[in-house]
Amino acid sequence: MLIGRVHEHELLEQKYHSGKSEFVALYGRRRVGKTYLIRAVFKHRFTFQLTGLSEANLKTQLENFNYAVQEQHPLLKLNPLSSWMEAFQTLKKIIEKSRQKKKVIFMDELPWLDTQNSGFIQALEHFWNSWASARKDILLVVCGSAASWMIHKLINNKGGLHNRITLRIRVEPFTLKECASFMKYKKIQLDHYQLIKLYMVLGGIPFYWDEVQRGMSAAQNINRLCFMSEGLLSNEFSNLFKSLFNRAERHEAIVEALAKKSAGLSREELILHTGIANGGNFTRLLHELEESGFIRKYTPFGKKNRDSLFQLCDFYSLFYMKFMQHTKRTFERDWMKMIDNPAHRAWSGYAFEQLCLMHSNDIKKALGISGVETSEFSWRSTLDTTG
C-alpha cells in the first residue's frame, strides 16, 4: 500500500501517459522511500529494472546488468559486456522487442553505476540524446540517494544531459498526518502526543517508522531504536552522510555546528565554526544540505536577505547530536533517564518548533486562516547568546 505521495503519484502517471519519451529523476534523503514509490506506482509495468551496486567496479556493474537482463528477459541472447555503450545497446534491443505501450526503464542507485573512468554518463547521454528522446514510448526513471551526484552530475548537468530531465522529484519525508496513516495501516495505536514525540526524533522517514513496534510507548521505541546496541538508528548517522555526499565530513561539520545553535548561524558564523574555506565549494556544501532536507535557509523577522541564517531541520540529526553522539549506550533505561532534564526540555522546544514550521500550512488550515497571507519565523531571543 502506498501511503501519501498523492502528488508524486499523479506526476508519474502523467509522464507514463504522455505522448512522448520522458526522463524522470528522483532524489532525496536516504531511507525516504524513493524506490518504494516507483515500485508501488508502476508495479508490473516495468520493461527493465537495474539497481547499481555499492562500491563495485565497472566489471562487476556490467555483470550485474547482464544478470538483470537474463532474469527479466531470459530469451535475449547475451554476450559479456566490456563497456556501458554495449550495455545500452542491449537495452535498446530490450525496448525494441517490448510490446508494451510505454517502456518503463527504472535505474535505481544510479550514482553507484558511475564508477571512476567507467564512461557511464557518456553512454547514458548517448542513449538518451541520439535514440531514446527521438521515440515516443520510453519512460526512463532514475533514482539515487547520493545527493552530490544526483544534483551536480544529473539534475544540474552542464554537458550532454543539460535540460534533458523532463521531471525532477525531490521525495520529501512523510508529514505528521502521513506518519499517523502509516501507523494506522500497521495497526499501531498512538495518540497525538506519542506521534509528535516520535516525529521529533524520527522525522518523517518511512524506513524509521516501519521499525516502530506495537505495544510500546514513544519513549520505549526511541530507547530501543536509538540507545540499544542493536537499534536501527544507533549507527545510522555515520552511514547517512557517507551515502549521500562526497567527503561527507565537511557536511557533518556544518550539521554539528548548527546543532549547537537552535536559532541558526549565518554563513560567516558557519565558516568560523567549521573552519571550511569560504568560496564556491562552501556554497555547494550548503546547497547540497538544503536539497537533501538537512538544513534550511531563512531570514529572521525584521531582517534583510543578507542577514539570512542557516538552521538544522533534520530531526534525527538534531537528536543524534544532542543525545546520541556522546552517550554510552549500555543501559536500556538510558533515554528514560534523560527525559526530565534541561537538555531534553531545550531540545523538545526546538524540535517542536521545527515540526510546527514544517506543518505551518496544515496549522493555518486547521485554524481557518489558510486564506490569510502570513509569514513564519523561528523564535530568536535577543537575550539568548547560547542557542
Confidence (pLDDT) at 152? 87
Please, what sign has the CA dihedral across residues 62, 68, 71, 72? negative
CATH classification number, 6-170, choose in 3.30.420.60, 3.30.70.60, 3.40.30.10, 3.40.50.300: 3.40.50.300
Provide the pLDDT for residue 387: 45
* Residue 332: predicted pLDDT: 45
C-alpha 230: how far from chain center:
24
* Tens-place pLDDT, residues 272-329: 999 999 998 999 999 999 988 999 998 887 788 888 999 999 999 999 999 988 775 5
- What is d(CA 87, CA 65) in angstroms, rounded to the nearest whole number? 7
Are residues 42 and 3 in contact, defined by beta-carbon separation less than 8 angstroms? no
The C-alpha atoms of residue 230 and residue 330 are separated, in whole angstroms, by 11
Would you say residue 384 has pLDDT above 80? no
Task: Decide: 261 and 255 in contact? Cβ < 8 Å.
Answer: no
Supply 145's cell numbers. 540517494
Q: 81-90, 148-157, 174-183, 270-279 — which is least confidently predicted?
A: 148-157
How far is the C-alpha of 178 from the C-alpha of 358, rounded, in Å? 13
The tens digit of pLDDT for each residue in 331-370 reads: 444 677 777 788 888 899 999 999 999 998 889 898 898 8
Cα 152 to Cα 288: distance, rounded to the nearest angstrom: 9
What's the rounded mean pLDDT across residues 226-232?
89
Question: Nearest Cα to 263, choosing from 363, 354, 361?
Answer: 354
Cell numbers describing residue 60: 562487476
Contacts of the segment 115-120: beta carbons below 8 A, 24+ positions apart: 115/56, 115/57, 115/58, 115/61, 117/58, 118/58, 118/61, 118/84, 119/83, 119/84, 119/85, 120/84
Query: What nine digits make up the cell of 321?
Result: 547530536
Residues near 368 by beta carbon (within 8 Å), at least 6 away in sequence: none
The yes-or-no verdict on residue 382 having pLDDT over 60 is: no
pLDDT bin (cut points 50, 70, 90) of residue 259 is: very high
Least confident of 98-112, 182-196, 237-251: 237-251
Q: State the pLDDT at residue 381.
A: 61
Q: Looking at 2-6, 115-119, 124-128, 321-325, which range is the least confident one? A: 321-325
**pLDDT > 70? residue 385:** no
- The domain ranges of the chain are 6-170, 177-387
CB atoms closer than 10 angstroms to residue 303: 13
**What pLDDT does 300 receive?**
80
Q: Which residue has the higher pLDDT, 157 or 181?
A: 181
The pLDDT confidence band at residue 371, using thresholds 50, 70 and 90, is: confident
Q: How high does pLDDT run on average in the chain? A: 91
> Does residue 234 have a pLDDT over 50?
yes
